[in-house]
Amino acid sequence: MRWTVRAGAALLRLLASTWRMRSHNDAPLHAARAADRRVIFALWHGELLPLLWQHRGENVAIVISEHRDGEIVARIAESLGYATVRGSSSKGGSRALIGLMREIDAGRDGAITPDGPRGPARVFAPGAAVASQRTGAYIVPIRAAASRAWRLRSWDRFLIPKPFARVDVSYGELTVVQADSPRAAAEQAPRLQVLLDATPGS
């Protein structure tokens, strides 16, 4: 495992160093951070790789699956400066979701793949909504697209930009979930899915 992680991290750094990264509509994110407001990035699982690179070293805690493949992703994320919270965020009372909220309360931003770890692809589970309601953090829809990329034959059609690809990272409308209870917050998941789907991506 140790050598697999080292090789994966080195390969990612080598590949990503060739990408031409471009950001779109990131002013609201910068304004929220300047006001010392915590944010939760919401991203589709299939676009995880370039978005991990985009926000490396920014004091972000990300929810990663406890499966074996998640262990490799978690360690690579940690090598890029992320804190990791292990488990699924799909249920409002899950251990992973509680861990993420603690990280946000401690001053980190958060990141969730609301269709992870096993899908269905691009269906917004309610974890991010509950975390926003409980912490007051903004949800930031974030998407990635690449001019040239490989697509894995996985449930999420995992995106790997090719060497020297142009990678466009787009940010959607920032929103905070205001609700009287976690159950009411979870009911806002369809609204959040609309915001993420409306953000340009692959």
Judge if the upstream peptide bond of residue 117 is cis by omega within 30 degrees of 0.
Answer: yes
| DSSP-assigned beta bridge partners for residue 140 | 41
What distance in Å separates the CA atoms of residue 21 and residue 38, rounded to the nearest whole number?
A: 24
How many CB atoms sit inside 10 A of residue 13's CB?
14
- 60, part of any domain: yes
Q: Which residue has the higher pLDDT, 68 or 4?
A: 4
pLDDT range class, residue 1, cuts 50, 70, 90: low
Q: What is the pTM of this model?
A: 0.94
Pairwise CA distance, residues 87 & 70, whole Å: 9
List the domain range (segments joined by +) for residue 124. 2-197
Output phi, psi for 23, to 5 deg.
Answer: -105, 145
The answer to whether 179 and 128 are in contact (CB under 8 A) is no
Amino acid 92: pLDDT: 46
| Overall domain count for the chain | 1
Residue 93 or residue 68, greater confidence: 68
202 lies in some domain? no
In a domain? residue 90 = yes
Compute the average pLDDT of residues 161-189. Answer: 97
Q: What is residue 89's predicted lDDT score, i.e. its pLDDT?
A: 58
Q: Which two tokens stand for residue 10?
A: 């080195």
